[in-house]
Amino acid sequence: MPRRRFASLLDLDRPAVGTWTQIAAPDLIDMLGDAGFDFTIVDCEHGAFGIEAAENLFRACDAAGIVPLCRAPALDAAWIGRALDSGAAAVVVPGIETADQAARAVAATRFAPHGTRGACPCVRAGGHFIGDWTAHVGAEQEKGAIALVETASGLEAIDAIAATPGLLALMAGPFDLAVSMGLAGDWQDARIEAAMDRMAAAARANALPLIAPVFDAEPDLAARRRAAWTARGARLFTVGTDKILFAVNARRYRAAMA
């Protein structure tokens, strides 16, 4: 099956729905594809696995027909390059707090002379032996960095971050932001809602796609949360995580057997 690109999510005639993959199990990727998810973000920051497991999860995404995104552990140019070489369609870079950091994230996704990404003709993204380097570079330019803004400092710099040339998308991180702001992770606090409004406005002002998180475990609450994000201009959504989806349903089934 042809590998899907991030741009395909923007071409849908409906919102794109994804989740986070924190369990290194290709079977779960199969289930996401069967359920109709459009993408998942393989979480190499909080997931207990490295690039080897992530590469197999990207393979599962390709087989399931969903877009494989990847969250890097940090703003690490070498690591970002490895994720792209392994087949990620884009890399979510956590903890972006300045326009300079956003620019460095973008540079890490681009080959010289336009960036700092290491070049190798023997990588999975190019079929393991690239015969036409120019064509490969052109294809890889469809990939890029997604800035995850999730701290009070990042919020203060959101307008400059969103204006960074070459940035693929902006992602809001309300839970980490609530921790950063001393709100004990209360991502439903009114101050976090105001912060999300500000992030969404920055994305709109720069015609930047916005990926919005929906943490609510109950479908009705999740639908209302998505509607609120839609009103802000978001068209890409992450619903829970694989752990949330499994844990909530496991508890629901166990309660039914009480």
Model confidence pLDDT, tens digit, residues 116-132? 999 999 999 999 999 99
Angle (CA) 29-240-69 rounded to 5° is 50
Q: What is the pTM of this model?
A: 0.95
The answer as to whether 148 is a domain residue is yes
The answer as to whether 223 is a domain residue is yes
Nearest to 235 by CA among 186, 175, 171: 171
Counted domains in the chain: 1
Model confidence pLDDT, tens digit, residues 208-238? 999 999 988 788 888 899 999 999 999 999 9
- What is the full DSSP assignment across 71-109? E-SSS-HHHHHHHHHTT-SEEEETT--SHHHHHHHHHTT
The answer as to whether 1 is a domain residue is no
CATH number of the domain residue 23 falls in: 3.20.20.60
Nearest to 150 by CA among 127, 124, 181, 123: 181
Q: Which residue has the higher pLDDT, 215 or 166?
A: 166
pLDDT of 2 above 70: no
Q: How confident is the model at residue 61 (pLDDT cuts 50, 70, 90)?
A: very high
Q: What is the pLDDT of residue 1?
A: 54
The answer as to whether 230 is a domain residue is yes
- Write out the catalytic residue numbers: 46
Nearest to 194 by CA among 206, 181, 210, 207: 181
